[in-house]
């Protein structure tokens, strides 16, 4: 029989019965197990520090200092509801490409920062906090500063630059925040906040929600950033203070794959009858459902900060264009540009870069690409030097 005949004969045979012991990805009940266990901050930062100012205590995370003289300091500001740990993966990536040091701190009302008047989230107050933290850490010997912020943090970067709170500022980077689209989104912001769960039964549950809801599309980023956004309801402590988790709490149940065509063994089916009749036992009350356990809640109630939202974004585009240092605007979509920024970009007033296939948290979804874009921007403006092994794809300004 020739090979052609064999192929034709096989194509007419009925399909083979699948082996229930070896499930396939297409089988019902099969799913790949994702690790939602939280990660520690020290896997990405070299040091954490509590900086005390007149307003209170700010939690600061620092990467390892660089040996090169004149290397810039990247001051990283997170978005509303996030924490400084949202910059963890980005900090680890960018320090591999260029000589710099990263400084990320929890903004007032977020993370492990505790201040007077925590509810005061006005743009002026938050911008002043940036200057106070840097002044408390470096005094008069502040290195060259690149101010970089995401969403609300990007708006604070623009306000801080216009208020001249950092005399050594040499560059501003804003991630995915534009005045026009931001103000339009405020109308539906309360509905979005109400759609989020108010509590979580575990840290892993919160991380899983973060990924499945699309807030962060990178599982590894969510594992380190999400614990900085929730607090233990009983102790009122941030979830990061409970890490590392104990072995029993971090272990996950193993999945058992059962094929629909599998038949139970007779020994298993008749195990109860083989033991003979037993005395009836008193009914035992079932344990409380795990779905009703409320152990963690959000660190900050963003709905209460509504009165400050318009102040963050109103007039932001013109203020961004008025900054007299080199500027970089990094967006998740070209449609996010408003009219003022479109005209400014055509006039070459700032560098624009668009990264597709990512969500609002661009620096968490694609930390390596964002690090490459920033490294290209800093080297192009001669603000930083590449490391010895800093071979990377240089992104030219493009949309």
- Residues annotated catalytic, as ranges: 151, 176, 360
By the 8 A CB rule, do 293 and 201 touch?
Answer: yes
| φ/ψ (deg, to 5) at 125 | -65, -45
Q: At what angle do helices 152-163 and 306-313 cross, to 10 degrees?
A: 60
Secondary structure, 3-state, 283-330: CCCCCCCHHHCCCEEECCCHHHHHHHHHHHHCCHHHHHHHCCCCEEEE
């Amino acid at each position: 029989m020739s090979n052609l005949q064999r192929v034709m004969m096989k194509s007419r045979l009925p399909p083979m019965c699948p082996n229930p012991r070896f499930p396939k990805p297409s089988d019902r009940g099969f799913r790949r197990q994702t690790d939602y266990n939280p990660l520690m901050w020290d896997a990405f930062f070299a040091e954490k520090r509590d900086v005390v100012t007149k307003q209170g205590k700010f939690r600061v995370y620092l990467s390892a200092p660089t040996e090169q003289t004149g290397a810039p300091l990247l001051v990283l500001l997170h978005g509303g509801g996030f924490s400084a740990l949202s910059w963890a993966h980005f900090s680890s990536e960018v320090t591999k490409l260029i000589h710099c040091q990263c400084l990320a701190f929890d903004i007032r009302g977020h993370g492990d920062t505790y201040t007077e008047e925590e509810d005061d989230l006005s743009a002026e107050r938050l911008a002043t906090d940036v200057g106070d933290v840097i002044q408390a850490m470096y005094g008069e010997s502040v290195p060259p500063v690149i101010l970089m912020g995401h969403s609300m943090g990007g708006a604070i970067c623009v306000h801080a630059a216009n208020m001249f709170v950092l005399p050594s500022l040499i560059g501003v980077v804003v991630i995915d925040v534009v005045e026009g689209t931001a103000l339009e989104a405020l109308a539906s912001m309360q509905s979005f906040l109400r759609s989020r769960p108010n509590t979580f039964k575990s840290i892993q549950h919160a991380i899983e929600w973060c990924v499945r809801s699309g807030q962060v599309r990178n599982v590894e980023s969510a594992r380190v950033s999400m614990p900085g956004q929730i607090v233990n309801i009983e102790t009122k402590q941030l979830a990061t203070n409970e890490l590392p988790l104990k072995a029993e709490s971090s272990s996950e149940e193993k999945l058992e794959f059962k094929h629909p065509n599998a038949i139970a063994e007779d020994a298993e089916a008749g195990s109860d009858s083989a033991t003979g009749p037993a005395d009836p036992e008193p009914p035992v009350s079932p344990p409380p459902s795990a779905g009703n356990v409320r152990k963690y809640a959000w660190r900050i109630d963003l709905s209460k900060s509504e009165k400050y939202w318009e102040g963050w974004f109103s007039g932001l585009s013109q203020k961004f264009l008025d900054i007299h240092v080199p500027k970089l605007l990094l967006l998740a979509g070209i449609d996010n540009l408003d009219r003022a920024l479109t005209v400014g970009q055509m006039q070459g007033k700032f560098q624009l870069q668009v990264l597709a296939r990512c969500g609002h948290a661009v620096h968490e979804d694609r930390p390596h690409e964002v690090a490459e874009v920033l490294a290209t921007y800093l080297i192009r403006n001669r603000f930083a030097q590449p490391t010895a092994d800093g071979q990377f794809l240089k992104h030219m300004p493009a949309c």
